[in-house]
Amino acid sequence: MLEGFARFARNRMALFGATVLVCLLLLVLLTPVIYPDDPFKLAGPALQPPGGRFLLGTDTLGRDVAAEIAYGARTSLIIGVGATLAAIVFGAVAGGVAGYYRGRTETVLMRITEFFQTIPAFIFALLIVAILSPSVSSEIIAIAAVSWPSIARLVRGEFVSLGGREFVQACAGLGASDARVIFSHMLPNCASSIIAVGSLLIGTAILLEAGLAFLGLGDPNVMSWGLIISAGRAVLRSAWWICTFPGIAILLTVLGINLIGDGLNEALNPRLRER
């Protein structure tokens, strides 16, 4: 794996992605210092164009767009990372059980996984948030609910190929419990592929979150990029900047994460490396 990270560091695109992400993390950490006020608070006159006293202008209510974007970054990262972690835990358990026990358990679990991959993901996520009522936690649940199948399939595939390996059979032969074989021997061996695929899931999760918030399903008490765009839409004709800058923030963040994900995939997934 260390060798893999060295390969990652030689990939210029991946390094660019990492730079973007580091800048974003710095922004999130410094937000309370740069913008100590609540982003929902009025900061000045409404609809100020960018460049004046407000770097990125103000919105219809006179809130500072730059402050809104800075606070939105935190929301996007929390939801993106939170939903991906939840999807990984759930997907790894489902895929791990299927790949370890095989037989009928595997058939049933994989049919369920395929089912969740077939249904229209975005509408399903939308329904979950609408039913649980919009909040950060229901967005995380909804995004995780549509993201876990790819992890489940990945972990199942890895487990099936690891199952026949000598070290796994040796453990089982020595009398190790199923849980011990799964958690301390097999899962660590799929860690690199999970990291690579999981990093790409974060980007998808952030895009999904933006779409949900744009449709009015974001947490109404938390600032998010989708929310700013959806509020700015009504004045698109006179104030282009309200919608433009949060979108650029989404684009750069997702691009950075995808580049890192691609880099990790190339560095850590031996099977993809030959391509």
Partner 1 sequence: MRFARYMGYRLVTALPVILGIIVLNFLLIHLAPGDAASVLAGESGAATPEYMDELRHKFGLDQSLGMQFLTYVSNMAHFNLGYSYRNDADVSSLIIERLWPTSLLMLTAFGTAVALGIILGLVAATGRNSWRDNIISLISLVAYATPGFWLGLMMIVIFSIGLGWLPTSGFDTVGAGHEGWAEVWDVARHLVMPAVSLALFYLALYARLMRASVLEQTGMDYVTTARAKGQTERRIMTGHVLRNALLPIVTIAGVQAGNLIGGSIVVETVFGWPGIGTLAFNALQSRDLNLLLAIFFMSACLIVIINLIVDVIYVMLDPRMEI
Residues of the shown chain interacting with partner 1 in the complex, contacts defined by CB under 8 A: 111, 115, 117-124, 126-128, 130-133, 203, 207, 210-211, 214-217, 229, 233, 236-237, 240, 243-244, 246-247, 250-255, 258-259, 275
Q: Work out the number of other CB atoms within 10 angstroms of the CB of residue 88.
A: 22
Angstrom distance (rounded) from CA 101 to CA 104? 8
Helix axes 187-214, 121-132, angle to 10 degrees: 70
Distance, in Å, from the CA atom of 15 to the CA atom of 268, rounded to the nearest integer, reads 15
Residue closer to partner 1 by CB (options 57, 168) is 57
Nearer to partner 1, 125 or 168 (CB): 125
Q: Name which of 101 and 240 has its Cβ closer to partner 1.
A: 240
**Closest CB to partner 1 among residues 23, 251:** 251
Taking the C-alpha atoms of residue 56 and residue 117, their distance in angstroms, rounded to an integer, is 40
Nearest-approach distance from CB 236 to partner 1, in angstroms = 6
- State which residue, 27 or 171, has the beta carbon closest to partner 1: 27
Burial of residue 14, with CB atoms counted within 10 A of its CB: 0-12 exposed, 13-18 middle, 19 or more buried:
buried
Least distance (Å) from partner 1 to the CB of residue 231?
A: 12
Which 8-state DSSP code applies to residue 235?
G
Please state the φ and ψ torsions of residue 238, each to the nearest 5 degrees: -100, -25
CA atoms within 13 A on the CB side of 15: 8
Taking residue 111's Cβ as centre, other Cβ atoms within 10 Å add up to 9
Residue 118: CB minimum distance to partner 1, A: 6
Q: Cβ of residue 128: shortest distance to partner 1, in angstroms?
A: 7
The answer to whether residues 196 and 257 touch, using CB atoms and an 8 Å cutoff, is no
Residue number, 36 or 237, with CB nearest to partner 1: 237
Q: Cα(55)–Cα(27) distance, rounded to whole angstroms?
A: 15
The nearest distance, CB 121 to partner 1, in angstroms, is: 6
* Shortest distance, position 122 Cβ to partner 1, whole Å: 2
With respect to partner 1, which residue has the nearer C-beta, 86 or 242?
Answer: 242
∠ CA 94-75-62, rounded to 5°: 155
SS3 content of the chain, % helix, strand, coil (to 5): 75, 0, 20
Question: Taking the complex as a whole, how short is the minimal distance between the CB of residue 187 and partner 1, in angstroms?
Answer: 27
